[in-house]
Each structure stands twice: as structure tokens, then as C-alpha cells.
Amino acid sequence: MIYLLDLFGVMVFAVTGSLAAGRKHLDLFGVVVLALATALGGGTLRDLILGAHPIFWVADPFYLAVAGSAALFIFMAPKRPSISSSLLQSADGVGLAVFTVIGCQRAMDLGAPSSICMIMGVMTGVVGGMIRDMLTNEIPLILRKEIYATASLAGAIIYVIFARHLHMENLAALLAISFTLTLRLAAIRWQLSLPAFHNDEG
Amino acid sequence: MIYLLDLFGVMVFAVTGSLAAGRKHLDLFGVVVLALATALGGGTLRDLILGAHPIFWVADPFYLAVAGSAALFIFMAPKRPSISSSLLQSADGVGLAVFTVIGCQRAMDLGAPSSICMIMGVMTGVVGGMIRDMLTNEIPLILRKEIYATASLAGAIIYVIFARHLHMENLAALLAISFTLTLRLAAIRWQLSLPAFHNDEG
Amino acid sequence: MIYLLDLFGVMVFAVTGSLAAGRKHLDLFGVVVLALATALGGGTLRDLILGAHPIFWVADPFYLAVAGSAALFIFMAPKRPSISSSLLQSADGVGLAVFTVIGCQRAMDLGAPSSICMIMGVMTGVVGGMIRDMLTNEIPLILRKEIYATASLAGAIIYVIFARHLHMENLAALLAISFTLTLRLAAIRWQLSLPAFHNDEG
């Protein structure tokens, strides 16, 4: 179940990477690279930092196939797929929620301290999008946007508390995914934001 | 033989990094950093992802010396060396072809699945240039340019098929390098491109 | 003693990351991410390349706490803290000097060759600032600025010579930190620069 949601997350993130590539008029290879970096970048950095070899997509190249196929599909679609922006954002929220939980799980399986597990959850959820934005020469959107990483962090905290300290792994995953997704959807719906930082010294 | 070509590739990539630094008017240190990142970045990421420690240039610091010397030479040349642009692009094509084969070899030696070997070949060939472009605040050129990574991918596929499945390692290296280089030179000569992606929703 | 200086360096680098985030009007999460990336990025890349697991801040999450607290403090300060720019630059010089020595030490403890130890010292000192600048969409300042990485490199050479070849570790640390800091402060005071590179072919 988690595995299926994970593949869904990979697919959705690959789609957002492909669409970003489209906005910058990249060629076919650029689209595939951005899709892979967006979909797999967060988990790759997590596994590198945890020293968890083999990296998840080296162990199971099916992830590569899913992300690559999504990119090709977007690239070759005769018309731009008429995915509404809000549908895409909601799907992206599902990916964010699932990736967060998977990142926490991976770190917990390796016996990392709780604070590290939470950081790894957030890293898995948000780093892919940050790489995507750096490659397309933008200041990463998630550093500026409505509650995004904050939703991921909330989910990570919930997951680690319920799974590690209360020993209810399934409930933890369910609660964390639901809460992250709900918070993210609410942020999209009502454009909730964290306070921004205005430095007058700039 | 492959080792000499590898050093040649490192030198050429260091030169392209130094020239990019020159276009942005970086100082001496900036030139050296860009040269090292361009020449060694792809192989470094490959070794990190494969968990292949020690990283190749930690095991053999001669790579550092070659890349650093190339950067110093370019920086200190009293006149800009009168390297014609097409000569540089051809040399860059040799580096791309050799790095691709070396990346595949390294992954195969570690017993990675074939799809991963191909990815590692392409990563070794192209990531250095991507880091160079990110550091100089450009959208990576290879995400937009004529057939570049595609030539690398073709070489990687040829190499893995011949070396792993037909057990002809030397022939595989020869064929893969020749094909990648030929395809790249043809792309430069006739300005071949992959189709670009125009997303009207942008 | 070195550990306390290390925490001081982490704090100072987190502050420079937070202030950079402020100049780009990032939100709270963006400020924290930039602070963590600036303060911990150099050491993280060093540990990844050396294969030194666990990464230092995974082994000791107190580093995370220090960097995160510094970011929150800067973000929440009712007025922009009236830190004079020259005080901040001097503190940054202390961080640079200490990080350089710690990077060399970590590589020496793992038995790396001397050239690699020096590279790791410089990497620990300067990569955090480079990541900060890439995330805020600037060409990394240290690639252009007055003697910065050069001061780090000088300290790294001094440290490795005294600690490895003359077996005087404490003296080595003292000399290397003093020299790096002095060189950096002199560069700030008299605006010393390395020669810049003007490529007329650009």
C-alpha cells in the first residue's frame, strides 16, 4: 500500500518536474533529467546522508521507469494534458505526505535519533522540488510559498511520535499522511502562508 | 589507455570550466573551483550514489593535479589561448565519450543492474557540466543544447550490451567511445537537436 | 575548545544564511533551510565524500539545534539585530578558520593523503556559503570576492604540515586558525583581492 502510494508520489513529482522543464523550453533530455531529479532527488540525498546503500532507486530501478515514463508521457502528449492546476497541486500534496512518511520510516529503520528521522522526512518530501527550481534557475518556490515544508514537518513529527514512541506504525502512517495532506490542501484553498521575512538592511 | 583518455577528459572539462569562469569574471579561486567541479563533479556524484568509497579522486589525487593545473594554465596564459571553439567542442566530445564508458565500467564492476550502469555512464558524462552551469547561474546548457546527453546515453547502452551481455569489454569500449564521439561531432557539425518542449500553459 | 569554536562557527554561518534569506524575503521555513544549509553544508559534503558515516550532525544533533536556534532568533528578533556588518564579517572569519581546521582533522583521522586533507579543509570552510548563494540564485560570492577561500587554503596547508609532518596538533590548530583569521581580516580591512579573470572571448 505504502509502496503504491510511493510510486504515485514519484509519478506526480516527475510530472511537476516535466512541466517546469516545459516552461523553460528544455529539450527531451532536459525534461527527463528534471523529472528524475524532482522525483528521486529528495530520497537520494536522504539515503546518501544516512549512508543507506544501495540508494533506493539503485536497489529497485522500477522507480526510474515510473519517473521516466511520466516524463515521456508529458513530453509526447499531443496536447498539453488538460490537468487542472488545482488537481496537480492536490496530487503533489499526496506525494509530499507519502514521501515524508517514507523518509521518516527509512531513518527509523536505521536507528537514527528522532530529530534526524524528522529531518529526513522533510528532506525526502521537499528536496526534489528544490533541485528542480535550482536547475531551472529559480529561487526554490518552497522557500517562499504557502505552508509546504511546514506541512511536511508536522507530518514527520506526528509519524515519529506515534511510530517510535507509541509503537503504532500503521496508525502513525495514516495519521501523518492525512494530516500533512489536509494541512497542504487547506493552505492551497485559503492561501495560508508563514510570515515572510523582510530584512531592511538588505 | 583508458586511464590516459580519462586524464585527457579531466583536463578538457577543467578547461571548459575555467573558460566559463572567465566569462563571469571570477577570481583565481573561482576558476579553480569551477574547473574541479566540472572535471570531477560527475564522477563524484556517481561514486557517492554507488557507495563506491574511496571516491576516485580521493584514491588517486593525480586527477586533482591535472584539473588544477589545467585551470592555472588557462588563468595564467598571457593571452587567451587561441583555441578555436570547434576544437574545444571536439575535445569536449572525447571527454564525454570516455567519461560515459568509465561510468558504466565502474557501476558494472560493482555489480549494478544494467539500467543503473547506463544511468551512471550518463551521469559521469554530463553532471560536471550541469554543476558548472548552476554555479555560474545559467540554466544548464546541456538541458537545452543539441544532442549531448543523448550521445552519452547511446554510448552507455552500446557499452553495457557489448561488455555485459556479449562479454567483449575492449570492443565495447571502442565501439561506445567511437559512436558517442561520432554522434556528438555530427550534432555539432549539422546542429542536430532533440525536439524542444513548448508548454503553452507556462 | 575546538568543539566550542565549532559550535560558534555553526552559529555564525547560520546567521549569515538567515540574513541572506531575509534579503530575498523568504518565509520562516526558507530562513531555517538556508541557515542549516549554510552552517552544515560544507561538513556534510566533506563527510559524504570521505564516506565518514554517520555524518557529523546525524551523530550529534546538537549542531542542528544550534543552527536552527540561530535562524529562529534572527527571524523573530523584533528589530533587525544591529549587528554591524564588519562584526559579522569578522565572526564569519572565525567560522571559516575553525571549519577549515576541523575539515583537515576529520580527513587526517581517516588517513587521507595530505592533498585530500587540504581540499577537505577548504571544502568544509567554503561550500556552505556556496550552497547559500546558489539557493538564493546568486553567483557564489566567494568565487568572486576578496581573499576568502585563499585564506582557508593557507590555513589548511599550515595545519596539515604542522599536524601531520611535525606532529604538533595543538600548535597546528592554533597557527592555522590564527593565520586564516588574520589573512581574512586583513583582506576585509584593505579589500585585498586575487587577480580576476577577464576572458575577452566571452
Read off the pLDDT of residues B19-70 as tens digits, 9 standing for 90 and up. Answer: 877 777 777 777 888 899 899 999 999 999 998 888 889 888 889 999 999 8
Residue contact C115–B44, C-beta within 8 A? no
Residue C202: which pLDDT band, with cuts at 50, 70 and 90?
very low
Over 90: is that where the pLDDT of A158 sits?
Answer: yes
CA–CA dist A191, B178 (Å, integer): 55
Phi, psi of B159 (to 5 degrees): -60, -45
Tell me, yes or no, whether C123 lies in a domain: yes
Under DSSP, is residue B27 helix (H, G, I), strand (E, B) or coil?
strand
Distances (CA, A) of C199 to B82, B89, C134: 12, 18, 23
Residue of C156, C149, C151 lying closest to C118 (CA atoms): C156
B163 located within any domain: yes
Of the two residues B11 and A25, the one the predictor is more confident about is B11
Instruction: List, for residues B80-106, the tens digit of each pLDDT value.
Output: 555 556 677 787 888 889 999 999 999
Q: Tell me what the mean pLDDT of segment A28-47 comes to.
A: 88
| Angstrom distance (rounded) from CA A20 to CA A18 | 5
Disruptive mutation site among A33, A38, A45, A137 for chain B (greatest number of B CBs within 10 Å) = A33
B143 pLDDT above the threshold of 80:
no
C79 falls in which pLDDT band (50, 70, 90)? Answer: low
Per residue in A162-199, pLDDT (tens digit) is 988 888 888 888 899 999 989 888 887 776 666 665 54
Q: Provide the pLDDT for residue C120.
A: 92
Chain C residues whose C-beta sits inside 8 Å of any chain B C-beta: 48-51, 112-113, 115-116, 119, 130, 134, 137-140, 142-145, 148-150, 153, 193-202
What local confidence, expressed as pLDDT, does residue C18 receive?
85
What average pLDDT is seen over chain B? Answer: 82
- Residues pairing with B196 in the sheet: A27
The predicted pLDDT at position B202 comes to 36
Chain B CA closest to residue A23: B202
Q: Which amino acid is at B60?
A: D
Chain B residues lying within 8 Å of A26, measured CB to CB: 139, 143-144, 196-197
Per-residue pLDDT band for A8 (boundaries 50, 70, 90) equals confident
Nearest to B42 by CA among B110, B106, B91, B113: B106
B201 with A24: Cβ contact below 8 A: no
Residue C67's alpha-carbon distances to A45, A61, A76, C17, in angstroms, are: 20, 36, 45, 10
Q: Taking the alpha carbons of A103, A107, A113, A116 in that order, is the dihedral positive or negative?
A: negative
pLDDT at A145: 60
Q: Quickly state the pLDDT bin for B158 (edges 50, 70, 90).
A: very high
User: What is the C-alpha to C-alpha distance for residues A166 and A160, in angstroms, rounded to an integer?
Assistant: 9
> Which pLDDT value is given to residue A54?
86
In a domain, residue C200? The reply is no
Phi, psi angle pair for B179, to nearest 5°: -65, -45
Highest mean pLDDT among A86-95, A134-143, C24-33, C90-99: C90-99
Is a pLDDT exceeding 90 seen at residue A29? no
Among all residues of chain C, which has the CA nearest to that of B76?
A: C197
Cell, residue C176: 592555522
Residue C157 confidence (pLDDT): 92
In a domain, A25, yes or no: yes
Q: Which amino acid is at B162?
A: F
CB atoms B143 and A29 under 8 Å: yes
| CB–CB contacts below 8 A, B to C | 86
Q: Å from C52 to nearest chain B CA? A: 10
Lowest mean pLDDT among A80-89, B113-122, C115-124, C181-190: A80-89
Mean pLDDT to the nearest integer, A54-58 = 88
Instruction: State the DSSP code for C142.
Output: G
Q: Are A65 and B118 in contact (CB under 8 A)?
A: no
Alpha carbons A92 and A98: distance in angstroms, whole number: 10
Helix pair angle (A2-23, A85-109), 10° resolution: 130
Question: C143 Cβ partners below 8 Å, 6+ apart?
Answer: B21, B24, B26, B27, B29, B30, B33, B34, B135, C130
> CA B114, B120, B122: angle at the middle one, nearest 5?
110
Residues of C in contact with A183 (CB under 8 A): none
Q: Which residue has the higher pLDDT, C80 or A112?
A: A112
> What integer pLDDT is reported at residue A66 of this predicted model?
92
Mean pLDDT across chain C? 82
Encode pLDDT of C24-67 as tens digits.
Answer: 667 777 788 889 989 999 999 999 999 888 888 988 888 999 99
- pLDDT higher than threshold 50 for residue A151: yes
User: Which amino acid is it at C200?
Assistant: D
Residue C140 has pLDDT above 90, yes or no: no
Q: Structural domain of residue B98, as residue ranges?
A: 2-190
pLDDT at position B39 is: 92
What is the tens place of the pLDDT at every residue in A10-21? 988 898 888 877
DSSP C195: P
CA distance B164 to A54: 21
Q: How far apart, in Å, are the Cα atoms of A27 and each of A21, B18, B151?
A: 8, 26, 14
CA-based nearest distance A59→chain B, Å: 9
Q: Could you tell me the pLDDT band of residue C112, with boundaries at 50, 70 and 90?
A: confident
Query: Contact at 8 Å (CB) between A126 and A42?
Result: yes
ipTM for this model: 0.76
Is residue B202, in this structure, part of any structural domain at all? Answer: no
DSSP letter for each residue of B3-49: HHHHHHHHHHHHHHHHHHHHHTT-BHHHHHHHHHHHHHHHHHHHHHH
At B175-200, the pLDDT tens digits run 999 999 998 888 877 766 666 665 44
Question: How far apart are alpha carbons B91 and B60 in whole angstroms?
Answer: 23
Question: Average pLDDT of B2-18?
Answer: 85
**pLDDT class of A200 with cuts at 50, 70, 90:** very low
Alpha-carbon distance B67 to B43, whole Å? 13
C16, C24, C27, C55: best mutation site toward chain A, by most A Cβ within 10 Å? Answer: C27
Picking from B29, B40, B39, B21, the residue whose alpha carbon sits closest to that of residue B136 is B21
The answer as to whether B198 is a domain residue is no
* Number of compact structural domains in chain C: 1
What pLDDT, on a 0 to 100 scale, did the predictor assign at position B47? 92
* Interaxial angle between packed helices B114-135 and B149-160, expressed in degrees from 0 to 180 and rounded to the nearest 10: 160
Residue A13: partners with Cβ closer than 8 Å, 6 or more residues away: A35, A38, A39, A67, A92, A95, A99, A128, A129
CA dist C4 and B107 (Å) reads: 42
Residues from chain A contacting residue C27 (CB–CB below 8 Å):
143-145, 193-197
Whether B31 is covered by a domain: the verdict is: yes
Cα A173 from chain centre: 16
Evaluate whether residue B123 is within a structural domain: yes
Report CA-CA distances (Å) from B85 to A162, B10, B75, C195.
Answer: 61, 18, 17, 25
